[in-house]
Amino acid sequence: MSLSVMLSQLGSGMLKSMGIFFLTLIFSLPLGLLVSFGRMSKNAVLRTIVKIYISIMRGTPLMLQLLVVYFGPYFLFGMNIGGSYRFTAIIIGFSVNYAAYFAEIYRSGIESMPVGQYEAAKMLGYSKGKTFFKIILPQVIKRILPSITNEVITLVKDTSLSFALAYAEMFTIAKQIAAKETSFVPFIVAAIFYYIFNLVVALVMERIEKKLSYYQ
């Protein structure tokens, strides 16, 4: 196989990996914020349920969670699952997993905010919702951005776990080509693709962090 053909095939796999990456962020970031509200809720039942959810998501392998999401409907409810559900299961699995991690990051940021800011906003006539979204959340985002960046970079690499559901993203394609051609080159090319993707993500997150800096 020529290098151009290999690059073309790995490039198509990289696009699929990027699809998993971006869709996971789109769903898991807002979901994580909602989960963090449940984690900090005054309702003991809700707080306990959310704590158990976070504990399970963080305490079990992501690969196992993907398998449960994909095969669960069949084994639990006897539903027929087809190939079309594979990508949906991947996005659901990744989103609920990363939402748990993001929730704890959000929670740590929100709880680190001084109580005086809430009291001052209340004296100025701000509602709880306006106080949170206009005053607290922008500061929280700045504080938690380095932790979010670490999770986002990890997500780039975790997209390779989609092979567990036989989804042909870049890592799966690299393995197939390597087995067919008995060559290590596809893995090297895949590693370069992952590194460049991670480098771009890191640079973008660093730029956002600088823009949010109070000292710029």
Which own/partner pairs from 48-57 qualify as long-range (CB within 8 Å, at least 24 positions apart)? 50/103, 53/100, 54/100, 54/103, 54/104, 57/96, 57/97, 57/99, 57/100, 57/101
Per-residue pLDDT of the chain (216 residues; tens, 9 = 90+): 677 788 888 888 889 999 999 999 999 999 999 999 999 999 999 999 999 999 999 999 999 999 999 998 888 777 777 777 899 999 999 999 999 999 999 999 998 888 888 788 888 888 888 888 888 888 888 889 989 999 999 999 999 899 888 887 888 888 888 888 888 888 898 899 899 999 999 999 888 888 877 544
Q: What is the CA radius of gyration of the chain?
A: 21
Is-above-0.85 flag for pTM? yes
Q: Where are the domains of the chain?
A: 3-212
Specify the fold of 3-212: MetI-like fold (1.10.3720)
Cβ–Cβ < 8 Å for 151, 105: yes
